[in-house]
Amino acid sequence: MKQIITAITLALTMTANVQAQDNTWEQTTPSEKAAIDAKYLVGAVPEKDGRVVFETTIKVPGKSRAQLFDEMQKLMTAMTKAPEQLENSNISTTEPENGLVVGAYQEWLVFKNKPLILDRTRLYYNLVAECNDGEVHLSMNRIFYIYDEERTPLTYKAEEWITDRYGLNKKQNKLARVSGKFRKKTIDRKDYLFSTIEKQLKK
């Protein structure tokens, strides 16, 4: 029970922490912003067989496949209850015998939230955890967005919107004017999820 409560508490803090990072970014100078943006440039959005797939392998020596499966199932279930999640976020697949957990997430990705200005998109993605003895292979895929719902809803697939071809300018030295904000926020979200899960598993 204590582990479940810890996982839920961790998931519920995700939005606040990401928003705090955004506020810090807005207070930086133009030159500092340019340096920060460098991490979002060429190669930051990997493609695998024509699909955008973010991947990492988390090494957790001493923990069995069964232990890691149990921890990932609890953590990914808790994530579905986080404030930014929409009603259809759920755990779509669990295979204890194979150490597999798949979550289908639908959440708000906020670009700007100020008085009279709310710029956000619905972000959809799958989070896949493949657990083995001593490690978890984590991937984020099937990413797409629904944007500008209040006026004319637009649907964008990650492959056609945030890759190097679409998410950067022609010289590929800056984020694209519109799709660049989707690229940046998606990378930020991926980084936060992967690092948070790694910290939780290594406790």
Asked if 200 and 75 count as a contact pair (C-beta separation under 8 A), the reply is yes
Question: What span, in angstroms and rounded, lies between the C-alpha atoms of 37 and 53?
Answer: 20
SS3 150: coil
Name the residue ranges covered by the structural domains of the chain.
2-201
Asked if 141 and 127 count as a contact pair (C-beta separation under 8 A), the reply is no
Question: What span, in angstroms and rounded, lies between the C-alpha atoms of 99 and 137?
Answer: 10
Asked if 201 and 68 count as a contact pair (C-beta separation under 8 A), the reply is yes
- Residue 191: both structure tokens together: 């980084």
Asked if 161 and 81 count as a contact pair (C-beta separation under 8 A), the reply is no
Q: pLDDT tens-digit profile of 179-196?
A: 999 999 999 999 999 999
pLDDT beneath 70: ranges in the chain:
1-28, 30-36
Q: Which pLDDT score, from 0 to 100, does residue 106 have?
A: 97
User: CA nearest 19: which of 118, 153, 87, 127?
Assistant: 118
Asked if 122 and 86 count as a contact pair (C-beta separation under 8 A), the reply is yes
User: CA nearest 39: which of 174, 178, 193, 166?
Assistant: 174
Asked if 69 and 91 count as a contact pair (C-beta separation under 8 A), the reply is no
Query: Any idea which residue has 């991937």 for tokens?
Result: 139
* Overall fold of domain 2-201: Alpha-D-Glucose-1,6-Bisphosphate; Chain A, domain 4 (3.30.530)
Phi, psi of 87 (to 5 degrees): -65, -20
